[in-house]
Structure 1
């Protein structure tokens, strides 16, 4: 099977990222012109590979928590018993967009201290809105005939939700999760300002020491991760959509 140019480019980016994380010293000749006064070329205050794993871990935990809460709220407000809570739910999930992550960090640090916890709170709040809105859209725009057919064969409300509604809405929900993940990948870098272990540590070290090579390393790793994860989740969405018969093959 012949691979298309975009696929080849992404595979090349993945291979380049893995090579850099495992053997950053190979790239010293390329990065050397970006440094002055014999400054270190490759980030030397920690392992880039470990920082990348820690960065992804924070994003994963925050996105998982945001998905659970946002999906639960979307399910609640799309049931007759919870429809009246829609305005309140929208207000709650908008908190993260109303207060910038930096402001959330500033408020959280005095209460819970430095480290990963303030960053997790900021990413959790910031990731709620896209997941909630997409889940709400997916659950309120289901094919009426399919839902009625499920009711007609005797499914109760719980069975319809788990076996019909959520599977049909899954591609739209995943699109919201994808957006939340990409936002969190970039936003997590500011967590290093409150001592969280993220790739922002590399960028901040470069800014403090005026080392452009450090800044470029941290920024490129985050950027490549964002592109690859975005494309990977997009591919999963397309597969799910085709299986549900809501996208052209």
Structure 2
């Protein structure tokens, strides 16, 4: 009877894992269809702007805008994750605990400045283009990662760490083999929030010469063409849904691994 129950339980986990990646795959396929299909959907968008001479944004291919958008968000995410996780680890160690309030306040400070203000301050120093929007995304996306890294590491049971020390593990081994794996779902939740927010925020880069999916939105606002705005916003929304569901699946998978081990 126990063996049968175990098999049913294992089968249930297997089914869950089989369907775990279906949602991000669905949104990803829909995103690809949208990027490839919009240039041929003149009749679909014509009802939004029946009097416009042109209703499909054609200054740059949508796949090129998408790749530039992903590049900006990806670079900002890599730097922000590295800095945020490293800062969270540093201030939860014995030598760095005195700096914990300072790090938390500095991370919070980044979100008190609107991205538009950060761009306005960064352009005179960094010039027009990609660098100002990357700087804005880094400042804006730091708080969720730092906050969740702190929360995840602080929630690790002290008895577990004590048991690891009793087994002869070094502080570095405890961090990499015990604390970070247990805190990973919470840290991933912070990364998920940061990246999802920055996907939308990155569109502001079009105002300072950083070509991305914000281009059709800005062009639509300037020219009064709602079809352009919808095209840019639709692809950004699908991109956000794809990556958000991907992170959700990663969190679920990690929790399953922790519960099974």
TM-score (norm 1): 0.92
> Partner residue of 1:235?
249
Whether the 8 Å CA contact 2:88–2:146 is kept in 1: the answer is: yes
> Partner residue of 2:199?
185
1:120-139 superposed matches below 5 A? 120-139=134-153
Aligned length: 245
> Partner residue of 1:56?
70
> Partner residue of 1:15?
29
TM-score (norm 2): 0.88
1:43 partnered with 2:32? no
Give 3-state SS (helix, strand or coil) of 1:34's partner.
coil
1:189-208 superposed matches below 5 A? 189-208=203-222
CA offsets 1:25-72 (integer angstroms, 9 cap, x no match): 332221111124342121111111110111011111101111111111
Structure 1 segments unaligned to the other structure (5+ residues): none
Query: How many angstroms does 1:144 deviate by?
Result: 2.4
> Partner residue of 2:238?
224
1:210 partnered with 2:224? yes
Whether the 8 Å CA contact 2:34–2:235 is kept in 1: the answer is: no
> Partner residue of 2:178?
164
Output the CA distance in 1 between the equivalents of 2:197 and 2:50. 33
Q: Structure 1 residues 237-246 or 67-76, which shifts more?
A: 237-246
Structure 2 segments unaligned to the other structure (5+ residues): 1-14
Give 3-state SS (helix, strand or coil) of 1:244's partner.
helix
CA offsets 1:114-136 (integer angstroms, 9 cap, x no match): 00000000000001100000000
Give 3-state SS (helix, strand or coil) of 2:259's partner.
coil
Q: Structure 1 residues 39-48 or 17-26, which shifts more?
A: 17-26
1:36-115 superposed matches below 5 A? 36-115=50-129
Give 3-state SS (helix, strand or coil) of 1:94's partner.
helix
1:153 partnered with 2:162? no
Output the CA distance in 1 between the equivalents of 2:26 and 2:116. 34
- Higher RCO, 1 vs 2 (CA within 8 Å, ≥6 residues apart): 2
Query: How many angstroms does 1:16 deviate by?
Result: 3.2
CA offsets 1:207-240 (integer angstroms, 9 cap, x no match): 1111111000000111111112111101110110
CA offsets 1:4-36 (integer angstroms, 9 cap, x no match): 8xx57x655433321231232332221111124
CA offsets 1:53-97 (integer angstroms, 9 cap, x no match): 110111111011111111111111101100000111112212211
Q: Which residue, 128, 132, 154 being the options, matches 1:140? A: 154
Q: Structure 1 residues 34-43 or 185-194, which shifts more?
A: 34-43
